[in-house]
């Protein structure tokens, strides 16, 4: 018998299975995401980590099992309300190219009745938080660098001050220098805001940089849930050993 989900968890998956045709992208997964904690879903391509994230906000629906948000079952009739309490960031930002930065930021707030002054004020606050020059608010996404677009995507996710952030490979398309810079900034933002953060990455070093709770997935299942030290000292199986070993260090400098 499965234990009942923790009612204090921000999100939970209980016995969730979701298939695309004959392929089980998520296979009987049970996970809880504690309020105010950062959890990193990690794994190789096709492991199910991004599908798990999409299930949390109803972009995919389980074939069996249950998804809960703040202790309540996720339902189609309430999913829009849930999404407004969640900031969602995808790789390369997903910004609307025909809207300026401010237009992208203000789209949902305007729909909810915010006036222009309130939208501009909130945009200014978030520009300061994410170190985006306010002069860029009038530009279009094509006029921004990759790092600037990701900052705007994060700002858009934070506009309504949601309690939870979901990030799907948010730094995956960036060059190493920009990625390193944004890693530092993102971790500081997570700590400063104290929100529930669930982030997907395939990079083990990046995962450990952001959190001491890593959830390693393979073929739709959770293989191990713990810290990087747990993975190293007590790997659950040969896949965990191989996954850790595959993340090589740089060679030592020649003497």
pLDDT of 251 reads: 62
Distance of CA 166 to the CA centre of its chain: 3
pLDDT digits (tens, 9 = 90+) for 73-95: 999 999 999 999 999 998 877 89
In the predicted structure, residue 254 carries a pLDDT above the cut 60: no
For 91-147, the pLDDT digits (tens) are 877 899 999 999 999 999 999 999 999 999 999 999 999 999 999 999 999 999 999
Which of 133, 169, 168, 126 is CA-nearest to residue 148? 133
* Range name among 51-60, 62-71, 176-185 with the lowest pLDDT average: 176-185
Cα separation, 47 vs 220, in Å, equals: 5
The reported pLDDT for the residue numbered 172 is: 80
Using an 8 Å Cβ cutoff, are 137 and 104 in contact?
Answer: no
Instruction: Give the pLDDT band (50/70/90) at residue 255.
Output: very low
Q: Tell me how far apart the alpha carbons of residues 99 and 104 are, in angstroms, rounded to a whole number.
A: 6
Q: Give the span between the Cα atoms of 240 and 255, in whole angstroms.
A: 33
Name the percent of the chain in helix, strand, coil, to the closest 5. Answer: 40, 25, 35
- Cα-flanking dihedrals φ and ψ of residue 120, to 5°? -65, -40
Four-residue CA torsion sign, 225, 211, 124, 162: positive
Axis crossing angle, helix 101-111 with helix 116-130, rounded to the nearest 10: 130
CA–CA gap between residue 232 and residue 242 (Å, rounded): 10
- Residue 133 pLDDT: 95
Verdict on whether the full-model pTM lies above 0.85: yes
Given this model, what pLDDT does residue 101 score? Answer: 97
- What secondary structure letter does DSSP report for 65? E
Name which of 79, 90, 71 is nearest 32 in CA terms.
Answer: 71
- Beta strands 221-226 and 38-43 are unpaired
H or E element: which one contains 26?
Answer: strand 23-34
pLDDT above 70 coverage of the chain, percent = 95
When pLDDT is cut at 50, 70 and 90, the band that residue 4 belongs to is: low
Percent of the chain past pLDDT 90, that is, above it, reads: 84
Q: Which residue ranges form the domains of the chain, and what is each CATH number?
A: 1-85+163-246 (3.40.50.300), 95-161 (no CATH)
pLDDT of residue 143: 96
What tokens does 57 get? 């906000």
Q: Where are the beta strands (DSSP E) in 78-232?
A: 86-90, 164-168, 196-201, 214-218, 221-226
Query: Does residue 253 have a pLDDT over 70?
Result: no
Mean pLDDT of 160-164: 95
């Amino acid at each position: 018998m499965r234990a009942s989900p923790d009612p204090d968890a921000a999100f939970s998956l209980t016995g969730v299975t979701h298939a695309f045709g004959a392929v089980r992208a998520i296979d009987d997964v049970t996970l809880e995401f504690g309020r105010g904690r950062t959890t990193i879903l990690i794994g190789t391509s096709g492991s199910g980590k991004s599908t798990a994230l999409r299930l949390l906000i109803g972009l995919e629906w389980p074939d069996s099992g249950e998804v809960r948000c703040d202790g309540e079952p996720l339902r189609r009739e309430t999913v829009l309300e849930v999404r407004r309490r969640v900031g969602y960031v995808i790789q390369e930002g997903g910004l609307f190219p025909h809207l300026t930065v401010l237009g992208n930021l203000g789209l949902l707030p305007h729909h909810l009745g915010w006036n222009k002054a309130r939208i501009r004020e909130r945009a200014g606050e978030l520009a300061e938080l994410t170190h985006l020059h306010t002069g860029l608010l009038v530009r279009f996404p094509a006029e921004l660098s990759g790092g600037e677009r990701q900052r705007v995507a994060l700002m858009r996710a934070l506009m309504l001050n949601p309690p939870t952030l979901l990030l799907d490979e948010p730094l995956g398309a960036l060059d190493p220098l920009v990625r390193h810079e944004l890693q530092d900034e993102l971790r500081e933002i997570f700590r400063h805001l104290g929100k529930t953060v669930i982030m997907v990455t395939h990079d083990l070093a990046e995962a450990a940089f952001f959190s001491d709770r890593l959830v390693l997935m393979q073929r739709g299942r959770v293989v191990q849930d713990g810290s990087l030290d747990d993975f190293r000292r007590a790997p659950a199986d040969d896949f965990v050993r191989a996954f850790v070993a595959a993340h090589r260090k740089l060679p030592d400098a020649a003497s």
